[in-house]
Amino acid sequence: MDKERRTFYISKSKLLLRKSEMTISTTDPLASVVALLKPKPSIAKLVSGGGRWRVERTNMANPFYCAMSKGTCLLTIRDSAPIVLEAGDFVLVPEVFDFTMTSIDPPPSGAPSLRLETGPGAFQLGERDAPTDVRCLVGHCSFGSPDRELLVSLLPTVIHVRAQRRLITLVQMIQEETQTKLAAHDMVLRHLLELLLVEALRSVASTTIEPGMLRGLADPQLALALRQIHADPGAHLSVQGLASAAGMSRSTFFDRFHREVGSAPMEYVAGWRMAVAKDMLLDGKIAMSDLAQRVGYGSVSAFSMAFSRHVGTPPGAFAASRQAA
């Protein structure tokens, strides 16, 4: 990677990860969601394949990503149709439970597939004497947010991007960093993962994804409302006020927001406020009265009632249980 590009990524990470006393300081909805997700490194490895091979994984609720550097293979997530991955492709699945990766001509289901460790973090799949015709970088990570389910629900189910060299470079940097124990190792990996998520999510074409935050951001008028929500969750927010910010009538705004984002405007506002509140509760550096105001409630009692209704437990009990875990 050249010096100019490395400088870009480092400065970008500072912009995305800088935190204020309120924890989430950015007005950018995408950046604020990624920051709240708190991605943590888990596994990153170089995988090569030759001949016929198959890899199956089940009951994995963690994010999975793959960057293809050579050849072609198939990725099947749960019971969906196989995705053809080619050299230069990147795929990210924010939450995956079952998946299968195979050669284009896969062996029969259930047939054993040779897996040989060829070096630190490097594996060879398939027939022992077959030439290597597939090479990819694969990894898993975890999300440390207590509200990961809500945040993941705002993202596409599958992100498949073609010919994005920057994504491949970031995955290479993650794989290389996992093999080192240099100073600030964990911090570097966390920042690289956040950059990878942002780069992947903003590379997605809005026309190819299901309703969610990204589709909402692709609509110039809805994006104005979403930025207002994320900029200050403590502000007085209403459907009429958000519609005015978006330059639409109340009914038109409500219908379009629900169609593109996948939830009613105030339902989205409540979910985001609770996600921010959980993050501040775990941080433990702010009085409950100040916290209530910062997420849009005029009193501690009003906030506690809303939090209990949304989360199922009072805010104090939630914070205590998480800190004791």
- Domain of 34, CATH number, reads 2.60.120.10
Same domain membership, residue 223 and residue 193: no
Same domain membership, residue 126 and residue 267: no
Query: Residue 14's pLDDT is what?
Result: 33
By three-state DSSP, how is residue 74 classified? strand
Same domain membership, residue 238 and residue 187: no
Rounded-to-integer distance, Cα 23 and Cα 268, Å: 20
Predicted model pTM: 0.69
Contact 257, 216 (CB under 8 A): yes
Listed residue (90, 95, 229) closest to 160, CA to CA:
90
Same domain membership, residue 83 and residue 13: yes
Same domain membership, residue 218 and residue 131: no
Contact 86, 114 (CB under 8 A): no
Same domain membership, residue 134 and residue 34: yes
Same domain membership, residue 246 and residue 121: no
Rounded-to-integer distance, Cα 169 and Cα 150, Å: 29
Same domain membership, residue 225 and residue 187: no
Rounded-to-integer distance, Cα 29 and Cα 37, Å: 12
By three-state DSSP, how is residue 238 classified? coil
By three-state DSSP, how is residue 249 classified? coil
Q: What is the pLDDT along the chain (325 residues), one digit of tens a residue?
A: 443 333 333 233 333 333 333 344 456 788 888 888 888 877 888 899 999 999 888 877 688 889 999 999 999 988 788 999 999 999 988 886 788 899 999 888 777 667 777 878 888 998 888 899 999 989 888 888 877 777 887 788 888 888 788 888 888 888 888 877 788 888 888 888 888 888 888 887 555 677 888 888 888 999 999 999 998 999 999 999 999 999 999 999 999 999 999 999 999 999 999 989 998 998 888 899 999 999 999 999 999 999 999 989 999 898 888 666 5
Q: Write out the residue range of the structural domain in which residue 257 sits.
A: 213-324
Out of 204, 227, 256, pick the residue that ends a domain: 204
What is the tally of structural domains in the chain? 2
Same domain membership, residue 92 and residue 171: yes
CATH number of the domain where residue 315 is located = 1.10.10.60
Query: Residue 27's pLDDT is what?
Result: 60
Rounded-to-integer distance, Cα 41 and Cα 93, Å: 15
Same domain membership, residue 180 and residue 222: no
Same domain membership, residue 83 and residue 174: yes
Listed residue (216, 243, 311) closest to 273, CA to CA:
311
Rounded-to-integer distance, Cα 310 and Cα 40, Å: 26
Query: Residue 4's pLDDT is what?
Result: 38
Out of 183, 204, 225, pick the residue that ends a domain: 204
Rounded-to-integer distance, Cα 212 and Cα 27, Å: 18
Q: What share of the chain is helix, strand, coil (3-state, %, to 5)?
A: 45, 20, 35
C-alpha dihedral (169, 175, 176, 177), degrees to nearest 10: 110
Query: Residue 159's pLDDT is what?
Result: 87
Same domain membership, residue 301 and residue 232: yes
Where do we find the tokens 């994995």?
60
